[in-house]
Structure formats: structure tokens, C-alpha cells
Structure 1
Amino acid sequence: MTLDANYLRGTVAAVFSILQHTACPEDVSFHFLAARRRDADAVRATFPYLDPSVHLFDPARVSGRISRSVRHVVAAPEYCHTNFTKYFTDAFWSDPRLSATFRQGPHRRRRPCYFNTGVMVIDVARWRAGGYSRRVEEWMAVQKEEKRIYSLGSLPPFLLVLAGEIMPVDHRWNQHGLGGDNAEGRCRSLHPGPISLLHWSGKGKPWLRLDTRKPCTVDYLWEPYDLYKAAATTAIEE
């Protein structure tokens, strides 16, 4: 897991949930990538009985050594009922050359659908062989150097390259979108049936809504795992 100060409460809650729901928690190993040692220290202080591996990220040491080839999405949760057109600007849709990217054809055999990049099964070799890093970066270059063609985070360039070309993962493995949409973060309910992972993707994070006393119903499922706030509150009281 990466450690980010803005999402540290979410990381701590995820670790606690894993330990609570794993049949053999003593066999689970945690690896954290942190830019700041104090973020890792905060996790250690919350779980003093854990012995995680902490990898401090120093950009200077890895500069020029990271491969430009990342990974290829083989499977991910797909949501064809979601209208992903809002992720792209009017400038994109009004340009026939650009908007034709989503047209079905030899290079896009299935209907392009929104998919969740936060939960993916990945094949490194296929990604490298297909030059997918380069293809994603080419769209990022259009966004940066030519004109603004998309908004709302890092998903759009992946949609441009991979939408319609992934293997859908059964939705029971991932309850998507509990954070609402990226524009307003509206509350959403759980989908019917079994769920393996609750995913607060979207603008509304449970700790923010709980702190402002405007929680969604699903946020109460997350609250018992909020050890980071509990630890901070105890420290202040002491």
C-alpha cells in the first residue's frame, strides 16, 4: 500500500479490516511505500504488534531507473450503465478525429464501458508487449500540449486506451462508487447480493463525511475501523 497523509485514515482502516476478516491474520504481510517516514510511523503506532516492511520512496534515487512500461489490465469491474461521456470535454466530443476513438471496430471489439482502475487484475507481459504505457502517455500529451480533452482525475486516458478491451470482473468482488460521483459525492446504496470489497471511490470519503456530520448510511460500515482518529483523539486527551 502507498501511504499518503491525505488518505492515511483510509489506509489504517483498510489494514484493520484485513486483520479482522482474514482467517489467519498472523500470515498476512504488509508492505508500505511512503514518501515520508512519519506516515509509516503513524501506522506503526496504530498497530504496534505489526512488523510491516516500509519502503521509503526517494525520487532522486530512482530517477531514470523506473521502466516506462507499467502494466496491462486483463480484468477489472466494468459498469456499462454508467455514462462516461462526462469525463471528456466538449472539445473532445466536437473533434471527429478524437471522438472516433470510442467507435467499435477492429481495435475496439466490444462496446466501450466505464471500468474501475482501482481494482484490476493485471498481466505485466501483455502490457509491455502492447506498448500500453506509450498509448496512455500519448493521450496525456494531447491533454497537456494540444487542448484540454478530459477532466475528473486519471481515469480518462485509461478509458481512451482500454475501454471495451478488458475482461469484466464479477461485481460482487467490488462495491464500487460508495464515495459518490467526483462532482458532488452523493450517497449511494449497496448493490444486492454478496460483496467482497467496499470501495469508497468518488469524491465523498467516509472520514470526511463523518467528521462534518453529514454521513451516508454506508459510512457507518466503515466507522468501526477508523482507528487512526481514535488513536489521535486518545493522544489529545492524554
Structure 2
Amino acid sequence: MTLDANYLRGTMAAIFSILQHSTCPENMEFHFLWARFDREVFSSIKSTFPSLNFKFYRFDSSRVRGKISKSIRQSLDQPLNYARIYLADIIPSDVKRVIYLDSDLVVVDDIAKLWEVDLENRVLAAPEYCHANFTYYFSNLFWLDPVLAKTFQGRRPCYFNTGVMVVDLEKWRQGQLTQKVEEWMTVQKQKRIYHLGSLPPFLLVLAGNIKGVDHRWNQHGLGGDNMEGKCRSLHPGPISLLHWSGKGKPWLRLDSRKPCIVDHLWAPYDLYRSSMHALEE
């Protein structure tokens, strides 16, 4: 996970939800990536979860600052949003596998079930959404370029959300995937082939070559679309993880007293709100 003062409330809720639903929380180790040192953020994690097994790593924003292209939402352009590309470079080599999680989600099942997924020799596992219009994630310039359009030749590419991923760091390093993602970011700077931040270069490198897992592990889009963040309903089916990807964040909507129905599913894990109520009493 990444650590950002603006998303700390979400991060705390995510951690709390994971611990609450884990059969063996003592077996978990959390790895946090930060770009700007904030003593309050660090102390909040330590004081709230004194028994948590965790490590902090600095993400050097200069690695991506010159590679980021303006997207449709400013928050998608923050360097820390690209830190997931560099997990294999930052986390020590003795760590073989990680689950990467965004900060705007809660887990309502034992995350060990996701950890134990068989990657079947793939680099990455995540829920795939093959019904989604894949062409939407790239510009007309991309699809009209005969060379670029051949990128997915021999693959059956499907959209996957990079906010929940099981990653084999060894295979990522062996395949030099960080460099491959960066190469597409360079193309983007030159030709403007997509509009959605760090997601499209992941799709360009990996779509069609990942291990698909049950959709229950990423009930995403609860934050609405990227422009207005309008309320959305839950998708049908079982749920193990709720993800407020999109513009709307549950803590902001709850504070504004204009929550969506799904935001009340996040509220029980909101430690900030609980502490405020305790102070008021």
C-alpha cells in the first residue's frame, strides 16, 4: 500500500478491515510506500496498530515525474499513484510475492484466500472484466496506428483494475516489467495514446497474460466515474473486497453528509470517525 496524508483515513480503514477479517493476522506483513515524509502519518499507523508487522519504504518521485502525462483527473497524476510500477525495485528481493492494495477499499473476507491463489506461472493475478469495452482505455490515435494496434496481437486482452493485484515480484524482476511499463509511458508522452494515469501502461504490458481471479475480490467502481463520482450500486454476486475507485471517496461523502448507500459499508471501518465520536463523548 502507499502512504499519503490525503488518503490516510482510507488506509487506516483498509488495514483495520484486513486485520478484522483475517484468521491469522499475526502472519501478515504490511509494506508501505511513501513519497513525502510525514511524521503524523507514520505515528498514526504505529499508534493505531501497535502490534502490526510493517515496513516503510521511500518511493523516489523523481523516477516518474518526467514520465507522467496529464490524465482526466488530477489525483491520477500524483507520482505516488505510479509507485505500484516499482514494487519489485523497492521491496527487498527476499520478498517473493505481495498483494498490492489501493487505500480506498475495505476487505470483508480473509485476505489469505487471495494470497493463496495459484498464479499458474503468471506474473500477476487480478479480477478480469472481459465484458468491458477494452478500446475505451486507449485513444483513437493508438487504435489507428497500425504498429501500436498490433500490441495485443496473439492475446485476448481484458480490463483489470490495478488497485488489487497479487504480484510475483521475482517474475516481475526477471521479465524487466518495470522497464516495459516505462517504455509505454515514454510513448504516451510522445503520442498521447491513453487518458487514465497509471492503468493503461499496465494493460499494454500485461492484459491477456494475467491469472484471472473471482470478481468478488474487487467490487470496484464504488467511487463512481472519474469526472463526477456519482453514486453506484453494488454488482450482483458475492463480495470479498469493496473498492471505491473513481472520483468519490466514502470518507469525503460521509463528511459532507451526502453519502451514497454503499458508503455506509465503509463507515464501520472508519477509525477516524470512531475516535472523533469518542472525543465528543
Scaled by the length of structure 2, the TM-score of the pair is: 0.69
Equivalent residue runs for 1:67-146 within 5 Å: 73-102=123-152, 104-105=153-154, 108=155, 111-144=156-189, 146=190
Please say if residues 216 and 240 of structure 2, whose CA atoms lie closer than 8 Å, have aligned partners that are also in contact.
yes
Q: Are the structure 2 counterparts of residues 132 and 224 from structure 1 closer, same or farther at C-alpha, using a change threshold of 3 Å?
A: same
Whether 2:226 is the aligned partner of 1:176: answer no
1:158 counterpart SS class? helix
Counterpart amino acid of residue 198 in structure 1: L
Q: Distance in 2 between matches of 1:192 and 1:19?
A: 26
1:20 counterpart SS class? helix
Q: Mean Cα displacement is larger for which, 113-122 or 218-227?
A: 113-122
- Which 5+ residue runs of structure 2 have no aligned equivalent? 64-85, 90-96, 98-121
1:120 counterpart SS class? strand
TM-aligned CA deviation for residue 50 of structure 1: 3.5
Q: Distance in 2 between matches of 1:58 and 1:76?
A: 24
| Equivalence for 1:36 | 38
- Which 5+ residue runs of structure 1 have no aligned equivalent? none
Counterpart amino acid of residue 136 in structure 2: K
2:56 counterpart SS class? strand
Whether 2:278 is the aligned partner of 1:222: answer no
TM-aligned CA deviation for residue 76 of structure 1: 1.3
Whether 2:193 is the aligned partner of 1:149: answer yes
Q: Deviations over 1:123-151 (max 9, x none)?
A: 2333233332222111111112x221111
Q: Distance in 1 between matches of 2:207 and 2:55?
A: 35
Q: Are the structure 2 counterparts of residues 90 and 78 from structure 1 closer, same or farther at C-alpha, using a change threshold of 3 Å?
A: same
List structure 1 runs of 4+ shifted beyond 6 angstroms. none
Please say if residues 9 and 207 of structure 1, whose CA atoms lie closer than 8 Å, have aligned partners that are also in contact.
yes
**What fraction of aligned residue pairs are identical, expressed as a percent?**
67
Structure with the greater alpha carbon radius of gyration:
1
Equivalenced residues, count: 225
Scaled by the length of structure 1, the TM-score of the pair is: 0.79
Q: Distance in 2 between matches of 1:69 and 1:33?
A: 12
Q: Deviations over 1:85-107 (max 9, x none)?
A: 333223223322222323x32xx
* RMSD, aligned α-carbons: 3.0
Q: Deviations over 1:39-65 (max 9, x none)?
A: 011233444x545545263749x9xxx
Q: Distance in 1 between matches of 2:170 and 2:55?
A: 27
Q: Distance in 1 between matches of 2:10 and 2:124?
A: 27
Q: Distance in 1 between matches of 2:25 and 2:170?
A: 31
| Equivalence for 1:20 | 20
Q: Distance in 2 between matches of 1:59 and 1:131?
A: 19
Q: Are the structure 2 counterparts of residues 58 and 80 from structure 1 closer, same or farther at C-alpha, using a change threshold of 3 Å?
A: closer
Q: Are the structure 2 counterparts of residues 52 and 150 from structure 1 closer, same or farther at C-alpha, using a change threshold of 3 Å?
A: same
